[in-house]
Amino acid sequence: MICSTSFSSKFFLLFFFIIAALCSCAAPDRDSTGIMPTGAGEQQSAETVSQGSVPIIGDDLLIAFLPMENLSGTKAPLKDMETTFRTSLTGKGFRLLESDLLEQFRKKHRMRYTGGINANLSQALQEEMGVDAILITSLEAYNELNPSQISLISRLVTSGGQPEIIWMDSIGLSGDQSPGLLDLTLIREPQPLLEKAVEELAGSFAAHFNPKDQGSNSFFPSIPESWRASGPGTVTSPYYRLNRKYLPYDHFRSKIVDPEREYSIAVIPLLNLAVRKNAGNIVMLHYVQELLKLGNFKVIEPGQVREQLLRIRAIMPDGPSLAVSDVLTAEGYLGVDLILSGRVFDYQNQSANPKVDYSVQVTEKNSRKVVFGARTFSEGREGVYFYNFGRVFTAHNLLEEMARTTLQLLNKPFQVWEGPKEYIAKNSDEKVDETILYPRVVATSRIDWEKLF
């Protein structure tokens, strides 16, 4: 029997295969980013680690793996997750403090909080257990079915009297983010997703101490990192510089902030006005991670910030007052230059359309003024029109990009945009700060640019 295919059938077959191929390519798997991903990030990480006071840690470091902090607002198999993570780390050659020994230490020192570490406990861990560093992991989101989701944030803090973050990374995965052709790569069970997430995090961790191991990482730079890596030569327009999708709708930056200077900063848990539990702490952790990536910020370990807030018995029903800021920035307390605080209005982690809505503000020590403020909200399906291209499946990834873009506005050098020639000719004395030229900011700007030109 001769099987003949007409031209139109061939055309439809070809079209079908192209569509199928496109479907399998949909929603690229943007797993996570760390302080040391690749390219520009690698350089930044090296700078971060070499910032003076951080001790050099060898391969034989002893790590205390603290029990996972559950910020997911739901029940989750934390023990299983911990075991999987421990196994993965020991498999990569890291020495972890025995769980029993850590439990004894926790009982002895009545250590209940495991989402951070303060100076006293850090010192005690070093002296009594011989621990070099402490691994703190927070479960941001967990969903077993329809679809499975997991988001983890992990950081390594040095032991001793002055705990400092030397590595931080996070990952947010959704089972349906890379379904592949005919859903062949759709992850339906939580366990494989957990293993994948843990493997990525452990890979990033290993890569931090052994740069040769970076090959196992599937990280690739996000859009803002891409333009950073590409250098100023490729930038033809100010619009190109930031990822518009995640830009805040309005922002303010005082001239007091000097992007060239190094600042110490404390991130206070954001006031949670959302229905979702722990949303304020989650946003705080994302900002800690992104601030670390910037390189010119010395970020205080959140456990120490918590300790000082408890010490001064700060009650902040509407955010930190200037009096609280004064105390926190004082030398006997945190002694920081900047304090980042804010409010979270919405945090929804549905895979169909995650949403995050919050505002942040940064207060400066000497001027006692708000020097940076931004309000931002975004959705996973924003700007998605074709085959899920650009869709974000987890609130974790959404928040990560939003935090990164917001902080780039804080850290962006003051650049004077000269504008169209007609405008320059008319207003040769006046220069315009390019920060007000981003499209979404223009919508709320007091300057009517269309009329101006």
Q: Which residues bind other proteins (CB under 8 A)?
A: 249-252, 273, 316-324, 341, 343, 345, 357, 359, 361, 363, 369-370, 373-375, 377, 441, 443-446
Nearest approach, Cβ of residue 274 and other proteins (Å): 9
Q: Six-digit token pair at 173? A: 């995965």
State in angstroms the smallest separation of the CB of 385 from other proteins: 16
Nearer Cβ to other proteins, position 187 or 283? 283
Quickly tell me which residue has 């891409």 as its tokens. 226
Nearest approach, Cβ of residue 172 and other proteins (Å): 23
CB-nearer residue toward other proteins: 318 or 429: 318
Which is closer to other proteins, CB of 79 or CB of 369? 369
Instruction: For residue 35, give every residue at least 6 positions away whose Cβ sits within 8 Å of its Cβ, in sequence order, or none.
Output: 41, 44, 45, 48, 167, 168, 169, 208, 289, 292, 293
Per DSSP bridges, beta strands 370-379 and 250-253 are: antiparallel
Q: Is the peptide bond before 147 cis (omega within 30 degrees of 0)?
A: yes
Residue (125 or 402) nearer to other proteins, CB: 402
CA distance 452 to 450: 5
* Cβ 357 to other proteins shortest distance, Å: 7
Q: How far is CA 377 from CA 172, 246, 250, 357, 394, in A?
A: 18, 8, 11, 4, 14
Q: Which residues pair with 63 in a beta bridge?
A: 96, 133
Q: Is the separation of the CB atoms in 224 and 438 below 8 Å?
A: no
Nearest to 283 by CA among 222, 354, 340, 352: 340
Cβ closer to other proteins: 219 or 345? 345
Specify the residue, 243 or 363, whose C-beta has the smaller distance to other proteins: 363
Which among 289, 9, 445, 426 is positioned nearest to 434, based on CA atoms?
A: 445
Minimal distance, residue 325 CB to other proteins, in Å = 8
Report, in Å, the least distance between residue 329 CB and other proteins: 14
CB of 399 to other proteins, least distance (A): 16
d(CA 250, CA 443): 9
Straight-line distance from the first to the last Cα atom of the chain, in angstroms, rounded to the nearest whole number: 72
Q: Which is nearer to other proteins, 315 or 425 (CB)?
A: 315
